[in-house]
Amino acid sequence: MLFKLLVYIFVFSLPILFLVRQRRVQSPSTGSSAATTTETDEGKSLKTIMQPPRDDLDPPKYNPITLKELQEYDGSDPSKPIYVSIKGDVFDVTRKKDVYGKGGSYNTFAGKDGSKALGMSSLKPEDAVPDYSTLPENEMKVLDDWHSFFSKRYNIVRRVTDMPEAVAPLRSTTANAETDSS
């Protein structure tokens, strides 16, 4: 009788344990919360799906580049690096070719400044534009979190020189790039 009871408990607890485990793994990656929780939960649950921060990054290089020139680095030419610009800071994401290269799930951010879409947690190409000036405060925060996420994982290699006028006053939060081009 006792044995039977133990078997019942075991059999019923298995699916419950499975569900609890699933919830733990999935919750940070759903929809826009993937972006918003990136930094706040860093080092905790997100460690399981997002790559961890790196400690081998180079000091930022702010060599000037235009939005037009940036287009060459969208992953369509395998001999060239892949660049993603956020608020005009250009990150070298080449080592994540599978994600940002041709056919990759985040290729929409490659070879351009798609700051607005990052703030909106949107993957629509039409949202991936450099003028993020119209984002509401909460989305501006999401964008800043992404900038911080990338800063901890990818080298800054360039700085966009022709970002839209509308965002000029908003860019002071990032490095004083124009003067610092090493």
Contact track, ligand HEM, 95-114, x by CB under 6 A:
-x--x------x--------
Q: Which residues lie below 8 Å from residue 119, measured CB to CB, with a gap of 6+?
A: 132, 135, 139, 140, 142, 143, 146
Strand partners, 84: 91
Structure tokens at 135: 């984002």
Query: Which member of 42, 45, 51, 148 binds ligand HEM (CB under 6 A)?
Result: 51
Cα–Cα dist 124/114, whole Å: 10
Query: Which member of 41, 42, 45, 50 binds ligand HEM (CB under 6 A)?
Result: 50
Count Cβ atoms within 10 A of the Cβ of residue 45 and give its class: 0-12 exposed, 13-18 middle, 19 or more buried: middle
Choose the stretch contacting ligand HEM; rule: CB under 6 A; options: 10-18, 31-39, 68-76, 126-134. Answer: 31-39
Return the number of the residue (105 or 176) whose C-beta is nearest ligand HEM. 105
Q: What does the binding site for ligand HEM look like in residue numbers (CB under 6 A)?
A: 29-31, 34-35, 49-51, 96, 99, 106, 118, 121-123
